[in-house]
Structure 1
Amino acid sequence: MLPTEKKAPTPSVDSRWKWRNHRGAAAAVCVVIALAGTGCATGSEAVAQGGNFDFVSPGGQIDIFYDPPEQRGTVGPLSGPDLMVEGKTTALSDFGGKVVVINVWGQWCGPCRGEAVQLEQVYEATKPLGVEFLGINVRDSQRDKAQDFVVDRKVGFPSIWDPPMRTLLALGGNYPTSVIPSTLVLDRQHRVAAVFLRALLAEDLQPVVERVAKEPQ
C-alpha cells in the first residue's frame, strides 16, 4: 500500500531503452492541442480523476521510468465507449490484476500507423504473462475511419473511442496530452511504471513490459 505522505518517485531513463531510430523524436509524435474546443468537462461528461499519479519528466525526457514500485502513483478511473462495439463500455477496471499497456492514438496520426503493428506484436507476445493492452482513440470524430484503422492493421486489443480526449483526465493534470502517440505501462496494481512520449518499436516496449510483469505482487 502506498504511504499516505511521500515524495514523488524519481523517474529515471535507462539508456538501454533509448529509441534506436535516428529520425528523431519529432518525427515520432503528432502534437495536438489537448481538449481543443471542448472546454473543461463537467458534470456527467467529466471523468473522475481519482488517481495520485504525478507525471514528471526531468529535462524533457521522453522515456520515463517510475521506480521503486512502492512509490508509483495510480491513474484515476478510466472508461469510455468501446471503439469497435457500439453500446459497450470499456474500462481499465476490466483488467484487474493485469499489467496494462495504455496507448493513446489517432488514425490521423502518421507515426501511429507504423506503431500499431509493433504494439500488436508485443500484445500477442506478452498475453501469456498476464498483460493486456488498452488503446484510447482521440480526435477521430468519424468513428468508422478509426475502426478501419484497427481492422486494416489487425489490432486485437480494445480501444476506447474518445474524440474530445476527456478520458485522459484520468492520467492527471500534468500528463502531456498534446503528444500523440504516447504509451503508459501500468503494473498489476495499475500504478504507472513507465511512460513513452513517442512512437515505439516492439524491441523498445517488450523488455519493459516483461520486466514489469515479472515484478513481485
Structure 2
Amino acid sequence: MRIVLPVLLACAALVAVLAGCSTGSDAVAQGGTFQFVSPGGKTDIFYDPAAKRGTIGKMSGPDLLTNKTISVDDFPNQVVVLNVWGQWCGPCRAEAPELEKVYEQSKARGVAFLGINVRDPEQDKAQDFVSTNHIQYPSIYDPEFRSLLALGGKFPTSVIPTTLVLDRQHRVAAVFLRSLLATDLQPVVDRLAAEGTK
C-alpha cells in the first residue's frame, strides 16, 4: 500500500497535466492577457464586447520569403488577421484564394494579414505554395511552432487551418478553427476595421 499510493498519486498528476494539454471540447491557451476557450467544440468564437478581449504575447519570426524578422508589432493600429497554415493541408489550399480576396478588399482600410506557416520542414515547398496561390501578404516561417508560443502552450495547434482576427489594439476579437470562405471573414474584418473609425 505504501508503494501503490504514491504511484496512484503520480498517475493522477500525469493525467491532470495531459488533460490540460488536450484539445477536446474545451481548449485553452494563454499568452499576453488572452485566454482562449472553445467550449463544446465550437469552431467560431467571438469576443464581444471589446472589453472582453485579451492580447496575445509578442509574436514574431522569420519571414517565409526573406528570412527577415516580422512581427505583429509591425502593424500598429491595424486589424491583423493571423492565419495558421501549411502547404500540406488540403483545407489551407481551399481557403488561400478566399483569404487573399479579403486581404485585397481590406488592406486600404488598415487591415493587415500575417500567415504562420507550420509543419513545413522544407521551406521551398511553402514558398512555392505562396507563389502558386498568388498570396501577397507575408507569412512567418514557423515549422516547429516557436512563434505560436505567443498564443500559449495550450492553444489547439492541431487544428490547421486556424485564423485569429485581432482588433486595432491587437486584442483577439475572433477565432476560427476551420477553413474559411471570404463571406465568413469579410464581415468580421469590416466590423473591426470600422471600430477604430468611430
Compute the TM-score of the two structures, normalised by the length of structure 2.
0.82
Partner in structure 2 of residue 53 of structure 1: 34
Tell me if structure 2 keeps the 8 A contact 1:100–1:187: yes
Q: Find 2:144's aligned residue among 140, 161, 164.
A: 164
Matches within 5 A, 1:12-161: 51-86=32-67, 88-161=68-141
**Aligned residue identity for 2:145:** M
C-alpha displacement of 1:199: 0.3
1:32-84 CA-to-partner distances (Å, cap 9, x unmatched) read xx9xxxxxxxxxxxxxx851100011211000000110221000000001001
Distance in 1 (CA, whole Å) between partners of 2:83 and 2:186 is 14
**Aligned residue identity for 2:53:** R
SS state at 1:214 partner: helix
The CA RMSD measured in Å over matched residues stands at 1.6
1:162-211 CA-to-partner distances (Å, cap 9, x unmatched) read 11011111112332111000000000000000000000000000001101
Tell me if structure 1 keeps the 8 A contact 2:168–2:196: no
SS state at 1:180 partner: coil
Partner in structure 1 of residue 176 of structure 2: 196
Compute the TM-score of the two structures, normalised by the length of structure 1.
0.75
Matches within 5 A, 1:204-215: 204-215=184-195
Tell me if structure 2 keeps the 8 A contact 1:54–1:174: no
Distance in 2 (CA, whole Å) between partners of 1:67 and 1:176 is 21
Misfit runs of 4+, over 6 Å: none
- Sequence identity, in percent? 67
Tell me if structure 2 keeps the 8 A contact 1:55–1:172: no
Alignment size in residue pairs: 170
SS state at 1:55 partner: strand
Stretches of structure 2 lacking an aligned partner (at least 5 in a row): 1-21, 23-29
